[in-house]
Amino acid sequence: MLLKTYKTTFLQELSTLYDAQEIESFFYIVLESFHNIKRIDLAINPNMEMNSMQLLRWERVLAELKKEKPIQYILGETEFYSLPFLVNENTLIPRPETEELVEWILKSTKYELQSTKLRILDVGTGSGCIAISLAKNLPNAQVFAIDVSEKAMLIAKKNAEINNVKINFIHADILKIDSFDQLPTQFDIIVSNPPYVRNLEKSEIKPNVLEYEPHLALFVEDTDALLFFRKIAEFAKKNLSEKGKLFFEINQYLGRETIELLERLGFKNIELRNDIYGNDRMILCSL
């Protein structure tokens, strides 16, 4: 069957569940994954064909997409900050907003790099996307990453190998410990994209996220929505270097509350930034 012909079928089969632009995105993601060709290649060679085995693989993807399973989980891979990452149901799917956080960290460290070998800690690393992207772009940095999920950490370790970076991974629960014997006592950067979606916000979450992505990494109780931010900030007070910086990805509805929490804990130079969609999403502060 011609790939071009199958594209029409693919779009029609999914048209009641997704908008046309999203379906096209799915198609070209699978095209590159299965056939190692890009959109332009198919446009230049519209008579490209696939065999029966390849068609069967496409049909399996189509069936999973009809269940609203994320394409990244179907393929078991995604891209973040131009790097390849394995993902599964034990890890959150890295998002563009988090790429913006990585970019902010890298720009903020430009001058420190001239004289300092940075020590970086990523709290709640998940797939390892933040820690690995920083390590890849800051080759002289010493990067540590912790997570409460052993299954997520297995994926993160594989991703570090794939991207040829050294990360010091530690299985730990930030809510239960104040310090780690395996860690240095001082960090130049502490960063976290912790759970921050309140249960009351579940109605806003799409089924492909709610039914497939790990709730452990997503949700917090409505009664203590800033639990992780408070705990990580308390840890940072004890473990940030003199000129160290703390970065968070935050709940878009709790920007003011997060700033007030950090102020109460003694943090200064607090900067709140919007993401590409105009939502309050990132905070930088120092002591």
Confidence of residue 137 (pLDDT cuts 50, 70, 90): very high
């310090």: which residue's tokens? 179
Identify the domain containing residue 9 by its residue range.
3-67
Q: Is 79 inside any structural domain?
A: no
Residue 129 lies in a domain: yes
What does the alpha-carbon distance between residue 141 and residue 164 come to, in Å, rounded to a whole number?
14
Same domain as 107, residue 21? no
Is residue 172 in a domain?
yes
Within a domain: 75: no
Bridge pairing between strands 168-171 and 83-86: unpaired
User: 59 and 97: one domain?
Assistant: no
Using an 8 Å Cβ cutoff, are 243 and 188 in contact?
yes
pTM across the whole model = 0.91
Any domain includes 77: no
Same-domain status, 131 and 270: yes
Distances (CA, A) of 216 to 50, 100, 163, 242, 266: 40, 23, 26, 33, 29
| Shared domain check, 140 and 253 | yes
| Same domain as 115, residue 47 | no
**Domain for residue 45, yes or no?**
yes
Structural domains counted in the chain: 2
95 and 56 in a common domain: no
In this structure, are 140 and 269 located in the same domain?
yes
pLDDT tens for 168-214 read 999 989 888 765 666 667 899 999 999 998 888 888 888 888 888 88
Do residue 60 and residue 134 come from a single domain? Answer: no
- Shared domain for 193 and 253, answered yes or no, is yes
Residues 53 and 142 in one domain: no
By the 10 Å C-beta count (0-12 exposed, 13-18 middle, 19+ buried), 238 is classed as exposed
Average pLDDT for residues 58-69, to the nearest whole number? Answer: 95
103 and 56 share one domain: no
The single-letter code of the amino acid at 223 is T
Per-residue confidence band for 112, with pLDDT thresholds at 50, 70 and 90: low
Yes or no: say if 12 and 23 are a contact pair by the CB < 8 Å rule. no
Q: Establish if 108 belongs to a structural domain.
A: yes
